[in-house]
Structure 1
């Protein structure tokens, strides 16, 4: 047997050859001979190299690269380049959007600062035109700074009021929508605790039970239960209605506070500003009922150990004209008692 000489198909020095299809369609082969006959298949995925002699039994096969595979490397490289280009475009687009947003924010801040300066300057001119001197302007600014300093404290008390488990908010004591009270309970409830029934102020128009949250927090830390009583304000009702609501709230505290751990024998009444006036009127009205022939009331003044009136407006008759000129009309005050 002669040794097998392999020549590349593209070699120009190789003898001319001819492609001859094989009889087997499933072989996927191609026969290459040195004499002019070469056998190949229609799919041509392999080459069969045959010796020059007539012995065709010894055949060596070599795989051929298909056309699809020959383009695989180039197509994969082109697809990776395309992906990189798309990524670069996205990054460039994101950077341009970010720079545009920063520039727009800078313009808006500059515009807001300019508008604020113009409004402030015009406000000072208006105040000077109205006769308000720089001394009043300085006081207004000082008041604004003082309010800004109080904001952290308001936030702390508001968080305690809305999220503390020691605060029972909105307990119903009557039929009116504003007949509600808040209870501030101590952490240590190992026995009956003294109770403070507090009527908040608010110039008879903005009174609300939440105004006593700071007092409730401080006293509850000292093992005292605080009940902040809400009531109707003007124009929901007159002062007579406010006194009626406060009296019902005091009655609830006197009769139901034992269910919340309070001591019915140690109940103290407190009012502040307009609340002091309303609580005083409620006490006097209850005392008048107890001395008269009216049926027994739901609570008694003897259940109140002490009354604290803080900065209350008691002599309302001397203040009627002052309040009337500021929107609290005379009809609101003339239907109730004064002290």
Structure 2
């Protein structure tokens, strides 16, 4: 049984830009619900502008934005110091942080254009309040012309459960709005402000707000789609399954899974028990990850792949919408095996599921670099065609639509791609060469004792260079696996108390190949 939620007392829908410039009717203009204030309405005189004048509305909206930004900045700063106490001074997360900084620097020309749109476009309604918890806000991206109800995507951004923010979806939001699709980007509490239960609760409440209110903004409540990227794909898939479980038990809910026409998961992780060690090797340390996920015992509870396999979930499967997962084959942040295994499990239990793999694409290519590159792109076109299926007029308009604008020069996109896939590994290769020498000599390991196992292609030139210039070794193209043929991957982890990044790389390659 679906029970609509009680309305939140105050919804600042207006953005910093002028909403009266929007030719979308009264239903799309700024709305403020303040019953107490309505009873105290007074007439104005002299030079004081009327209470509902556009100038005063814009001033109040801007003041709200500034106040909200200041409070959020203070909160994020305080939480950042809390997070630093968890992270300590580990080399791996520092190398990832440096890589992230370089990545953002290379893509800055595109990011600045999107940032300008975010604050000054008349097509966005920022920071709509959907709940009473911190960060319970969402952004709404509207097409220029809303003469008929439009399909809606509810988008949940990623950010490793730590740095997620609704603004990360602005590029997708603006580009889909150009194709007559409404996009809502949900913000939610991140760690350490909240743990996974809080994130799932926030996103579920955000979806509830959209399902029950989107018609007021020109959206079609019968054409709502849910999408998540990276950590957002994990959270949103958890929300979908847990909501279906509640419905299968007859619990009262504020929104129904039947209102979601399809689920799109982009570069997500769906079995946390298989990802703990992987994330630890990449800088999201086990202790932090388990704190986010509320302990080791909760990993299964928040793993959609495991939840759907539970025999007690047999009544849940018929409730689920069509599930489509997207993943790049060169994604080293969350390996594509995560999506492959989840789709296999979904099909095995009878759910409607589909997997689309993109050859050579990394974790950020599909969501950021390809979008900044503009032009035609498979993932974007697939989503647009899926949402406009059955709408002949919309499909005809899509065929005539100009290609997406390029926002960043190709050389910078290439450099960003290089940083995203390799720079973290380069930082790791420069750490602790003595630990690698100890690894090579450990237990008298001999080279060429077994057939070589080929590493990831991107690691070959790095480790060849590292072996020759840092260790004085001549490594052939088959490289370092022959160093450690007497060791299992588990033994390699134990070799270095400091968990040297180079040992991490070699052990990772061994574990892939053995």
TM range (shorter): 0.5 to 0.7
* 1:160-209 Cα shifts (integer Å, max 9, x gaps): 00111111000000010110000000101111111000000000000000
* 1:48-95 Cα shifts (integer Å, max 9, x gaps): xxxxxxxxxxxxxxxxxxxxxxxxxxxxxxxxxxxxxxxxxxxxxxxx
Per the alignment, residue 117 of structure 1 pairs with none
Q: Does 1:300 align with 2:256?
A: yes
Q: Distance in 2 between matches of 1:172 and 1:145?
A: 33
Q: Trace 1:324-335 onto structure 2 (pairs within 5 A).
A: 325=285, 328-333=288-293, 334=295, 335=298
Per the alignment, residue 227 of structure 1 pairs with 184
Q: Does 1:316 align with 2:281?
A: no
CA contact (8 A) 2:130 2:209 kept: yes
Q: Distance in 2 between matches of 1:327 and 1:142?
A: 22
CA-CA distance at 1:329 after TM superposition:
3.7
Q: In terms of mean alpha carbon deviation, does 247-256 or 317-326 score higher?
A: 317-326
Greater per-residue helix proportion: 2
Q: Trace 1:1-339 onto structure 2 (pairs within 5 A).
A: 147-294=104-251, 296-321=252-277, 322-323=279-280, 325=285, 328-333=288-293, 334=295, 335=298, 336-339=301-304
* 1:112-168 Cα shifts (integer Å, max 9, x gaps): xxxxxxxxxxxxxxxxxxxxxxxxx9xx99998765441110110000001111110
Per the alignment, residue 420 of structure 2 pairs with none
Q: Distance in 1 between matches of 2:197 and 2:100?
A: 35
* Structure 1 residues 145 and 178: alpha-carbon distance in aligned structure 2, compared to 1, 3 A threshold: closer
RMSD, aligned CA: 2.3
Q: Distance in 1 between matches of 2:110 and 2:232?
A: 23
**DSSP-derived class of the 1:198 partner:** strand
CA-CA distance at 1:332 after TM superposition:
2.5
CA contact (8 A) 2:276 2:286 kept: no
Q: Distance in 1 between matches of 2:265 and 2:99?
A: 30
* Structure 1 residues 277 and 144: alpha-carbon distance in aligned structure 2, compared to 1, 3 A threshold: closer
TM-score by length of 1: 0.56
Q: Distance in 1 between matches of 2:99 and 2:137?
A: 37
Structure 2 gap ranges (5+) = 1-94, 305-514
**DSSP-derived class of the 2:108 partner:** helix
**DSSP-derived class of the 2:254 partner:** coil
Decide which structure has the larger Cα Rg and report it: 1
Greater per-residue strand proportion: 1
* 1:198-234 Cα shifts (integer Å, max 9, x gaps): 0000000000000000000100000100000000000
* Structure 1 residues 305 and 152: alpha-carbon distance in aligned structure 2, compared to 1, 3 A threshold: same
CA-CA distance at 1:337 after TM superposition:
1.8
Bigger RCO of structures 1 and 2 (CA < 8 A, at least 6 apart): 2
Q: Distance in 1 between matches of 2:292 and 2:102?
A: 35
Q: Distance in 1 between matches of 2:110 and 2:153?
A: 23
* Structure 1 residues 158 and 313: alpha-carbon distance in aligned structure 2, compared to 1, 3 A threshold: same
* Structure 1 residues 312 and 146: alpha-carbon distance in aligned structure 2, compared to 1, 3 A threshold: closer
Q: Distance in 2 between matches of 1:230 and 1:304?
A: 19
TM-score by length of 2: 0.37
Structure 1 gap ranges (5+) = 1-136
Q: Distance in 1 between matches of 2:98 and 2:129?
A: 42
Per the alignment, residue 114 of structure 1 pairs with none
Q: Distance in 1 between matches of 2:291 and 2:102?
A: 38
Q: Distance in 1 between matches of 2:245 and 2:262?
A: 18
* Structure 1 residues 235 and 145: alpha-carbon distance in aligned structure 2, compared to 1, 3 A threshold: closer
Q: Distance in 1 between matches of 2:157 and 2:198?
A: 15
CA contact (8 A) 2:229 2:267 kept: yes
